[in-house]
Structure 1
Amino acid sequence: MFNKVILIGRLGQNAEAKTAQNNKEYVILNIATQESWKNDKGDYETRTEWHRVYAWRNLSKFAKTLQKGQLITLEGTLRYREVEDEIEGTTFKHRIAEIHAISMKRLSKIETADDPADGAGDE
């Protein structure tokens, strides 16, 4: 059996550092990907999907160096977990999808006024 996810997308915000109950550090990243298609009228439409990515151990150290807007690629596994949300006094259970990163690479430099990112790899 096989469980593999490959994404190329942009960071929606800087990495969010966390500590698990076992005192292990990890980072949460929110990655935006886009897909485009031509509709029945011949016009292009675009949809953005947001992905929640977890990076552990040494990968979390690298993830902390990433900044909002950077283009990255990552490889990981897809996992699901049950969560509960309360809305107006009613508790709802649902499943959410998460990606646990195995590898990650920066595809664009940090954009500055003097040095705009051109999409070239810097690693």
Structure 2
Amino acid sequence: MLNKSILMGRLTADAETKTFDEKKRVTNFTLAVDRDYVGSDNNRPTDFIQIVAWNLPEKFISKYLKKGELVSVEGRLQSRKYEKEEVHYITEVYVDNVYPTSFKKGE
């Protein structure tokens, strides 16, 4: 089976990181990804994709995973469910690689 996702978009907010112990860290952020067509309202529809990244370097997170930054991600789709009054299903992209695609002068 093949489960591969490659996306490019902008962060809707600064990435949030949680540390579980000294060696495990998970970073979550939402990526706004424009679709490749213009809708009847003359705008491109945008999808908001939930991203999960394990053990990214802290320096990378603080430098590149800020609101509005353009990044590319490569990973796989993964779904899960939870119950809170009713059953909810969530689909996320678990990333293997995150690439900054816009650099400031001097980088």
What TM-score, normalized by structure 2, do the two folds share?
A: 0.81
The count of corresponding residues between Structure 1 and Structure 2 is 103
Distance 1:92 1:23, change over 3 A: farther
Other structure's SS at 1:63 match = helix
Aligned twin of 1:81: 80
- One-letter amino acid of the structure 2 residue matched with residue 77 of structure 1: R
Aligned partner of residue 38 in structure 2, secondary structure: strand
1:99 aligns with 2:93: yes
Q: Which residue does 1:119 correspond to in 2?
A: none
Structure-1 separation of matches of 2:3 and 2:22: 26
Secondary structure of 1:99's aligned partner? strand
Higher relative contact order (CA 8 A, sep 6+): 2
**How far did 1:22 drift?**
9.3
Q: Given that residues 55 and 63 in structure 1 are in contact (C-alpha distance below 8 angstroms), is that contact kept between their aligned partners in structure 2? A: no
CA shift, 1:20, in A, is 3.9
Cα separation, 1, equivalents of 2:78 and 2:20: 17
> In structure 2, how many angstroms separate the alpha carbons of the residues matched to 1:38 and 1:101?
29
**2:61 matched to which residue of 1?**
63
Alignment-mate amino acid for residue 30 of structure 1: T
Q: Does 1:16 align with 2:19?
A: no
- CA drift of 1:6 comes to 0.6
Counterpart in the other structure of 1:88 = none
Over the matched positions of the two proteins, sequence identity in percent amounts to: 31
Whichever residue aligns with residue 48 of structure 2, its letter is: W
Q: 1:24 to 1:73 in 2, by over 3 A?
A: same
Give the RMSD, CA atoms, in angstroms.
2.3
- Return the letter of the residue paired with 1:75: E
Deviation larger for 27-36 or 61-70: 61-70
Of 100-109 and 16-25, more deviation after overlay is shown by 16-25
Q: Does the 8 Å CA contact 1:9/1:72 hold for their aligned counterparts?
A: yes
CA contact (8 A) 1:25 1:60 kept: no
- In 1, are the aligned partners of 2:39 and 2:45 still within 8 Å (CA)? no
> Structure 2 CA distance, aligned partners of 1:20 and 1:98?
20
Q: Where does the alignment leave 5 or more consecutive residues of structure 2 unmatched?
A: none
How far is 1:52 from its partner? 1.0
